[in-house]
Structure 1
Amino acid sequence: MAVTIADVARTAGVSASTASRAFNHPHRLRAETVARVKAAAEELGFRHNRHAKALSTGRSSALGLIVPDLSNPFFPPLVHATQLNAEEQGYSLYILSSEHNANREQQLARLVSHDVAGLILASPRMSAAQVRVIAREVPTILINAQVKGIPTVLVSAAGAIADAVEDGAEKGISGVSYIGSDERWWPNTEREESARAAAERHGVPYRRLSLSEPTYEAAREVVRSVEIRSHELVVAFDDIVAHGVLDGMGARGYRPPRDFRILGCDDALPISTSPALSTVHLDTRMAARIAVDLLLGEGAGEPQTVVVSGSYRPGATI
């Protein structure tokens, strides 16, 4: 049986992606790591062929990125940054959308797992067990999800939501409502728990308004039938949900901040509202750079969590 780069990696005690980079991009690694990989290759009789990289590694020089929804403005900057950073390291990028469907996501991951050097799952809908199956087939990095033993980048809105609620408390908000879906996936859970905890700290009532799915239409319909208390702060799952709230409340003659207050999240659509939407800025470009580095850099595959903290961007709606 032919010796593969995976065999070399095991012998050298490094990840397959690190072993590959020792041949293709040695300047990106420490000299002692390159020497260890090449010594292992010599011991095993492995001969690297730069022009047949896909045959020697069993994978192409490509990475995979799966997102739940390419039409959501949160994801295009992340996709763009992932592509640029992959290209800088000599990789192309497969971009796929799961359409918020866990089974489709799993099928897509399996489809590309043998054709890529690594896979990034952004806000995955798969269960932890499903993610672990994929991670056994291909080096995997998670963005905005936590599965024990798998490297993760979290783009956290917690501190920024706390800052926004504090701003609202100083202006006399009557309570806090979080509006998001019922799904127990990391971004939704973190944002909801942050809003609840901040409301408790400031001694104001808290409640949750549930959406069947976090969409503009669902948010618009909910607030057209649910009473929003005067000067209540509505913390929306994202800017799209916030726009739905603004439209639904506007149809009833309510305007922020005169009648209620609202915070978006993602900093994806703030300039298109009047008044300008207060929101949470999340640096998805930085998250993408870190994810690619975790996937391809030295020490790739080591279980670790990197947190990229968001920042509160006051507009005119709080």
Structure 2
Amino acid sequence: MKRATIYSIAEVCGVSASTVSRAFSRPEVVNPEVRELIHAKARELGYRPNKAARELATGRTGMIGLLVHDVANPFFPPLVRAIQRAADEMEAAVMLVDADESSAREVGLIKQLKGQVDGLVIASPRSSSALQEAAEGLPAVVVNRRMRGFPSVVCDNTAALTEAGRHLEDLGHRKVALMCGPSASWAARQRAATVRAWAQGTRVTLVELGSFAATFEGGREAARALVGSGATAAFAFDDLMACGVLSGLAEAGVQVPGGCSVVGCDDVLLARAVTPQLTTVTAPVDRLGRAAVDALRRCIAGEQVRDVRMDGSLTLRGSTGRPA
């Protein structure tokens, strides 16, 4: 059996060989029905495009960059995997780089990536104006933050955090602590604003503590402040901080949830591995990663891309209960 070529596929589909070539190298410029026909026939005939030749013809590398603020944070590994899977489907490789919690390093890494990647997914960046300048001319999408000049893919936790607040109030909590995350974090500011908005007009007194680092040790530090606050429940910035809070409360002899209820955010694997399991806001990480890659693909193709917003959902577990 002869090896399938763009010419044999063109003959079967009744189109030109150049149309078949564009269906693989520049699919956005081919009529969707024609493109789907070409791809279907290519699969049927066992045709696979020459990736190296396609990249040479288009001037593209076949590589997308993924910049994360802190790869050690358990929120990021599932997001990295989701982005890799989505990139595989568009036959792109992913170059992962870690800013190691440094805004200056974020900017430097973006400058280094120029020319090596076709586009960039930036997850939870801390810097803003300098980052925009560094990424100028490079198609880029921001995940977990809204930032002027870039399409964004974010999880909106407003409804879920408000529901968590009502849950605590219904349980009988009347003094609740807000343990703020890093001041440079867009997500921390958004989550804090949501909790403040919920507390207004309720019977609950909100006590603000921190800011604290979004780390396990940051959570242990927050727990020490929480113990002296008089609060019977607390919102942690994220699950990693919340797990540190659980550890610090246990060390101080405070039972959870009887002595203090704890709510996290993100629903990372660690939230289900601790005892008691953590009540938290679940982020649709797989969908976020897929949406980020799709948005970046369209940016690379020169299309206008709108921001994408997805809702988080409240997951109730053992770390919240009635105050003793």
TM-score > 0.5 by shorter chain:
yes
Q: Kindly provide the amino acid, as one letter, of the partner of residue 305 in structure 1.
A: D
Match of 1:114 in 2: 115
1:61–1:50 CA distance, 2 compared to 1 (3 A): same
Q: Distance in 1 between matches of 2:58 and 2:104?
A: 28
Match of 1:188 in 2: 188
Q: Distance in 1 between matches of 2:22 and 2:266?
A: 34
- SS of 1:181 mapped into structure 2: coil
Match of 1:314 in 2: 316
Whether the 8 Å CA contact 1:174–1:230 is kept in 2: the answer is: no
Q: Kindly provide the amino acid, as one letter, of the partner of residue 220 in structure 1.
A: R
| C-alpha deviation, 1:228, in angstroms | 4.8
Range that drifts further, 142-151 or 101-110: 142-151
| C-alpha deviation, 1:54, in angstroms | 4.1
Match of 1:45 in 2: none
- The aligned runs of 1:197-236 (5 Å cut-off) are 197-229=197-229, 232-236=232-236
Match of 1:3 in 2: none
Q: Is it true that 1:147 corresponds to 2:147 in the alignment?
A: yes
Q: Distance in 2 between matches of 1:178 and 1:61?
A: 44
Q: Distance in 2 between matches of 1:201 and 1:306?
A: 31
- The aligned runs of 1:1-318 (5 Å cut-off) are 22-24=23-25, 26=27, 30-31=31-32, 51-127=52-128, 129-229=129-229, 232-268=232-268, 269-297=270-298, 301-318=303-320
Question: So what's the TM-score if we normalise by structure 1?
Answer: 0.81
1:301–1:131 CA distance, 2 compared to 1 (3 A): farther
| C-alpha deviation, 1:230, in angstroms | 5.2
Q: Distance in 2 between matches of 1:256 and 1:72?
A: 24
| C-alpha deviation, 1:197, in angstroms | 1.1
Match of 2:6 in 1: none
Q: Distance in 1 between matches of 2:155 and 2:66?
A: 16
Q: Which runs of 5+ in 1 are unaligned?
A: 1-19, 35-48
- SS of 2:149 mapped into structure 1: coil
Q: Distance in 2 between matches of 1:58 and 1:103?
A: 30
| C-alpha deviation, 1:303, in angstroms | 4.6
1:27–1:132 CA distance, 2 compared to 1 (3 A): closer
Give the root-mean-square deviation of aligned CA atoms. 2.6
Range that drifts further, 274-283 or 214-223: 214-223
Whether the 8 Å CA contact 1:59–1:115 is kept in 2: the answer is: no
Q: Distance in 2 between matches of 1:311 and 1:222?
A: 25
| C-alpha deviation, 1:116, in angstroms | 1.0
- SS of 2:266 mapped into structure 1: coil
| C-alpha deviation, 1:227, in angstroms | 3.3
Match of 2:10 in 1: none
| C-alpha deviation, 1:300, in angstroms | 5.3
| C-alpha deviation, 1:311, in angstroms | 0.4
Whether the 8 Å CA contact 1:166–1:202 is kept in 2: the answer is: no
Whether the 8 Å CA contact 1:176–1:195 is kept in 2: the answer is: no
| C-alpha deviation, 1:225, in angstroms | 4.5
Q: Distance in 1 between matches of 2:57 and 2:102?
A: 34
Whether the 8 Å CA contact 2:209–2:225 is kept in 1: the answer is: no
Q: Which runs of 5+ in 2 are unaligned?
A: 1-20, 36-49
Q: Kindly provide the amino acid, as one letter, of the partner of residue 264 in structure 1.
A: G
- SS of 2:180 mapped into structure 1: strand
Q: Distance in 1 between matches of 2:226 and 2:22?
A: 56
Q: Kindly provide the amino acid, as one letter, of the partner of residue 276 in structure 1.
A: Q
Whether the 8 Å CA contact 1:263–1:277 is kept in 2: the answer is: yes
Question: So what's the TM-score if we normalise by structure 2?
Answer: 0.80
Whether the 8 Å CA contact 2:182–2:214 is kept in 1: the answer is: no
Partner deviation per Cα, 1:157-176 (whole Å, 9 max, x = no partner): 22111111111111111222
Q: Kindly provide the amino acid, as one letter, of the partner of residue 217 in structure 2.
A: E
- SS of 1:136 mapped into structure 2: coil
How many residue pairs align between the two structures?
A: 285
- SS of 2:200 mapped into structure 1: helix
| C-alpha deviation, 1:200, in angstroms | 1.4
Q: Distance in 1 between matches of 2:305 and 2:106?
A: 22
1:201–1:77 CA distance, 2 compared to 1 (3 A): farther
- SS of 1:234 mapped into structure 2: strand
Q: Kindly provide the amino acid, as one letter, of the partner of residue 276 in structure 2.
A: P
Match of 1:17 in 2: none
1:27–1:190 CA distance, 2 compared to 1 (3 A): closer
Q: Kindly provide the amino acid, as one letter, of the partner of residue 248 in structure 2.
A: G
Partner deviation per Cα, 1:231-274 (whole Å, 9 max, x = no partner): 62210111111111111111111112211111011111222222
- SS of 2:286 mapped into structure 1: helix
| C-alpha deviation, 1:212, in angstroms | 4.4
Partner deviation per Cα, 1:279-307 (whole Å, 9 max, x = no partner): 11101110010011111138755252111
| C-alpha deviation, 1:23, in angstroms | 4.2
1:29–1:176 CA distance, 2 compared to 1 (3 A): farther
1:180–1:261 CA distance, 2 compared to 1 (3 A): same
